[in-house]
Amino acid sequence: MASERELRRRIRSISSTAQITKAMQMVAASKMRKAQQLATEVRPFVRLLYRMQRAATKHAHDSNHPLTEIRPIRARAVILVAADKGLCGSLNSNVFRLAAAYDAASTMFITAGRKAAQYVAQTRRRLAAEFAYGDTPQFAESRAIAALARSLFEKGDVDAVDVIASRFVNTLTQEPVAVPLLPIGDVTNLRIPGVAPRDPKAAPLDFLFEPDAADIVSYAIDVYIRVFIHVVLLNAKASEQSARMVSMQNATESAADMIRSLTLEYNKLRQGRITQELLEIAGGTAA
């Protein structure tokens, strides 16, 4: 059984840890609100942007954009997005579990976030480039990642580009996803909140491209790739802050439970010692 001195030391140590986790919880909560707002507000825009570029690509029959070329996959690039720091539960490990399923011999990684770069280095996988992004991801950071992925695909260094990251659902749920980015494909049944889907029985639409179909398709695809990567970074940051806030809240509550348990044990031990001393004094007096 632990002594009173040891119990007091453990209570002080856990109290100090609880103060740290509480502070981290409050910091993460303040950052979480802004990150969640950015991640949710951009979703309707990127969905509409996707439908626009798909419509342009589909109806520009004489425009064969290089980013839509489907080739036999001999090499693949993966944009791996993770957090810069730990203490966010299983967020990073869930993302790395998806990355581990890719063949190390034929896959190169483009990392965003320090934890992603550390994972690639520890598992001795090929690292094409390493990028960083802050608490508020900037579009310039997304543009640099998109430019590298596009360059690798256009030069033929890779035949496909996938994105592995966390998709923000809500404060308690962050979903690890692996999404194909290149070549640009067709995703059916893409629904936009508040916009009714097009009736498949409706008459086909006529498109007039000005100044040129190839230029419009190239511009639409280029903008979509950049915005898509930016949305990925926003979702990853919202997921990170939400997971860290929940994790630190759970740690603070666990510390409080441990302090209550240790305090009860300390009081019982102290009460037993006092009772023993009273019995010894009463016995001495009777003698």
Residues 106-160 have pLDDT tens digits of 889 999 989 999 999 998 999 888 898 888 888 888 899 999 998 888 888 888 8
Total count of residues recorded for the chain = 287
Residue 30's nearest CA partner among 241, 282, 261, 191 is 241
State the DSSP H helix or E strand holding residue 225, giving kind and residue range, or none if neither.
helix 213-286
Domains, the chain, in order of start with CATH, read 1-185+208-287 (3.40.1380.10)
Q: Percentage of residues in the chain with pLDDT exceeding 90?
A: 10
Q: What is the pLDDT of residue 119?
A: 92
Torsion of CA 39, 44, 50, 53, to 10 degrees: -120
Please check the confidence at residue 63 and state whether its pLDDT lies above 70: no
Query: What are the tokens at 216?
Result: 């419009």
Please check the confidence at residue 203 and state whether its pLDDT lies above 50: no
Collapse the DSSP code of 164 into the 3-class scheme (helix H, G, I; strand E, B; otherwise coil) and give the result: strand
Residue 168's nearest CA partner among 54, 76, 36, 275 is 36
Query: DSSP for 87-148?
Result: -STTHHHHHHHHHTTS-TTTEEEEEESHHHHHHHHHTT-EEEEEE---SS--HHHHHHHHHH
Give the lowest-confidence range in 57-66, 98-107, 150-159: 57-66
Torsion of CA 184, 150, 176, 92, to 10 degrees: 180
Q: What is the pLDDT of residue 80?
A: 92
Mean pLDDT of 190-202: 43
pLDDT-based confidence at 185, cuts 50/70/90? low
Q: What is the pLDDT of residue 196?
A: 45
Which of the two residues, 6 and 279, has the higher pLDDT score?
A: 6
Q: In the chain, what's the furthest Cα-to-Cα distance? A: 113
Q: What is the pLDDT of residue 79?
A: 92
Collapse the DSSP code of 231 into the 3-class scheme (helix H, G, I; strand E, B; otherwise coil) and give the result: helix
| Phi–psi pair at 76, nearest 5 degrees | -135, 145
Q: What is the pLDDT of residue 174?
A: 86
Residues 7-43 have pLDDT tens digits of 888 888 888 888 888 888 888 888 888 888 888 888 8
Cα-Cα end-to-end distance for the chain: 32
